[in-house]
Amino acid sequence: MKKQSRLRAMKKRQRMFLLAVVAWIVFGAVSALAILSWTAEEDPGVTVRVTPAALSEVAVEGEAVFNANCAECHGPNAAGTNLGPPLIHDIYNPGHHSDQAFYLAAANGVRAHHWPYGDMPAQSEVSYDEVTLVIRYIRELQEANGIVAKSY
Ligand code: HEC
């Protein structure tokens, strides 16, 4: 009889221990998930406030090309998203990133070097002439937002 109740007590302790372990694992998993989703919200997306500009006809065409091919990452008004940087940014003033940088970026893609977003894939569906339109759009938006050529 005594032995049996000792056995029962032992089993009870074992069950409590198991329960504690399970609770600990569940708690750990829930906190890991919470931290993960929190860091996902805190991703490195950099966006800037861009004042839309009165665009030339060429720039309006460029805007359409941009919205179809580039805005997914660079954002509407090239203000940036969590997939790509804002191009209406002093880094991309014409003195630091000439028009050539745009042709090269579209043709070959870009290796991540300024930002933590990763590489930009080549946009081979966008032709040279379309990039010319996009450049006009970006330059006009830059100028309207006070981003002008600086010499380096
Ligand atoms: C899939 C996302 C993505 C798309 C689509 C995309 N880009 Fe990018 N782009 C990036 C990222 C990310 C960078 C930043 C790389 C770095 O410097 O770290 C970048 C950088 C650039 C740069 C800077 C190049 C340099 O020399 O530093 C230019 C210019 C550019 N993009 C233009 C464009 C144009 C024009 C389009 C559309 C035809 C486009 N991008 C579409 C993600 C994208």
Check pocket membership of 97 for ligand 1, CB cut-off 6 A.
yes
Per-residue confidence (pLDDT) for residue 3, from 0 to 100: 73
Residue 9 Cα distances to 14, 21, 129, angstroms: 9, 18, 82
d(CA 133, CA 127): 10
- For the CA of 112, the closest atom of ligand 1 is 18
| Contacts of 146 by beta carbon, 8 Å cutoff, 6+ apart | none
Q: Which two tokens stand for residue 108?
A: 């070959």
CB 123 within 8 A of CB 32: no
d(CA 13, CA 11): 5
* pLDDT tens-digit readout, 76-106: 999 999 999 999 999 999 999 999 999 999 9
Domain boundaries, the chain: 1-42, 57-144
- Asked if pLDDT for residue 152 goes beyond 80, the answer is no
Q: Which long-range contacts (CB under 8 A, 24 or more apart) does 96-101 make?
A: 96/150, 96/152, 99/135
Taking the centre of ligand 1 as the mean of its atom positions, its distance from the CA of residue 106, in whole angstroms, is: 8
Choose the residue to mutate in 103, 110, 135, 141 for probing ligand 1, maximizing ligand atoms within 8 Å of C-beta. 110
Q: Which protein residue's CA is at the shortest distance from atom 40 of ligand 1?
A: 70
Q: Which residue has the tokens 């010499």?
A: 151
pTM of the predicted model over 0.75: yes
* pLDDT tens-digit readout, 32-80: 766 656 555 556 688 999 999 999 999 999 999 999 999 999 999 999 9
The CATH classification number of 57-144 equals: 1.10.760.10
In the chain, what percentage of residues exceed pLDDT 90?
67
Taking the centre of ligand 1 as the mean of its atom positions, its distance from the CA of residue 24, in whole angstroms, is: 45
